[in-house]
Amino acid sequence: MAEQKIDTQSWMLLLVLSVIWGGSFMFIGVAVKELPALLIVLARVGIAAAILIPVHLVVQGKLPRDAKTWLACGGMSIMNNVIPFTAISWGQHHITGGLASVINATTPMFAALFMALSGLEGITPRKAIALGLGLVGVLVLKGGDFGDLGAQTLGILSVVLASACYGLSTPWSKVRLTGIPPLTTATLQLTMSSIVMAAIVLLFAEPAQYAAASSKTWISLVLLAAVSTSIAYLIFFRIIARAGPSFVSLVTMVIPVSAILMGYVVLNELLTINEVIGALIIGLALVIIDGRALRYIGIMGTKSRPR
């Protein structure tokens, strides 16, 4: 197994991924105006799988047949696609894409928590403080009483659930996906997600609603699948193989910037003062949990002290 390293290329890939995934909130924001969450997710994973399967056949040959690989990717499909994609799409029926992206920025905190609970990484006092701050940030985002389970509150909680699922997938990917090529992981994960979502849609949704969707919605769905899913997951699993799952979870720190800008320019979405303050608190929590800025300040402070 190649040694994992965090270098300039890893950070560049992370930045590209953040822009691509930032766009996903905009595409979902367009689609939710005409389609329910389940149909959006089925189109997203189905089109993405249809793109990656032939690519895999050309680049790496036949798909794996061993049960271990399929089960590993199947677990990722539930934690990384089915539940979070549905939760975010449903949540965006009630909150803006910009707000959803800010809440999704709590993913590294959930990742740290689940990595600690799984015994793969310890939870330090610094991480504990960051987790607490992240929770405060989410509470400030709402700006009201969570006992009043209105549409906005449920939308916020839905995206928090998505972030928790993404965090839960971090230890799973570290343990189960090591050694599996990024293209294979992305292809199998999306294939399994498509099968699961097709069954769910047949049971709980009306596929005929696709016919009523406008060309604008379909363009958004295709871009959501091709760019923000197929290409994004190739980059995502490449980063995991290169720098590790904890590092790639930091992508959600940068996603809100592009998501909010795209939402403002394309969808005329605005953030409230509570959402801005909550975002800043979550950002502070992420800076603390990442640790690099704190170490940099400490080094600078040490250098500046007179002898």
- Contact in structure between 269 and 102 (CB atoms under 8 Å): no
- Contact in structure between 171 and 120 (CB atoms under 8 Å): yes
Query: Of how many residues is the chain composed?
Result: 307
Mean of pLDDT values over 157-174: 95
Tokens of 299: 């080094």
Higher-scoring residue by pLDDT: 213, 122 = 213
Higher-scoring residue by pLDDT: 273, 200 = 200
pLDDT at residue 2 in the model: 53
Percent of the chain with pLDDT over 90: 53
pLDDT band at 296 (very low <50, low <70, confident <90, very high): low
Query: Residue 34, class by beta-carbon neighbours within 10 Å (0-12 exposed, 13-18 middle, 19+ buried)?
Result: middle
Angle made by CA atoms 277, 282, 106, in degrees to the nearest 5: 140
293 pLDDT exceeds 80?
A: no
Tokens of 196: 């699961």
Strand spans (E) along the chain = none
142 pLDDT exceeds 80?
A: no
pLDDT in tens, 80-124: 999 999 999 999 999 988 889 888 988 888 998 899 899 888 777
What does pLDDT average to over the chain?
87
3-state secondary structure of 150: coil
pLDDT at residue 299 in the model: 46
pLDDT at residue 263 in the model: 81
Helix axis angle for 151-176 and 125-142, nearest 10°, is 150
pLDDT at residue 172 in the model: 95
Global pTM value: 0.83
Q: Which residues contact 145 (CB under 8 A, 6 or more apart)?
A: none
* Domains of the chain by residue range: 8-304
pLDDT band at 140 (very low <50, low <70, confident <90, very high): confident
Q: Which of 32, 134, 102, 109 is nearest to 258 (CA)?
A: 102
When mean pLDDT is compared over 120-129, 144-153, 205-214, the highest value belongs to: 205-214
pLDDT in tens, 54-65: 999 999 999 999
pLDDT band at 162 (very low <50, low <70, confident <90, very high): very high
The alpha carbon of residue 116 and the mean position of all alpha carbons in its chain are separated, in whole angstroms, by: 20
pLDDT band at 307 (very low <50, low <70, confident <90, very high): very low
Q: Which of 141, 135, 143, 151 is nearest to 92 (CA)?
A: 151
pLDDT at residue 125 in the model: 85
Mean of pLDDT values over 76-81: 97
Q: Which of 28, 139, 45, 42 is nearest to 94 (CA)?
A: 28
Mean of pLDDT values over 117-140: 81
48 pLDDT exceeds 80?
A: yes
Rg (CA), the chain: 19
d(CA 154, CA 136): 17
d(CA 69, CA 287): 35
Higher-scoring residue by pLDDT: 250, 207 = 207
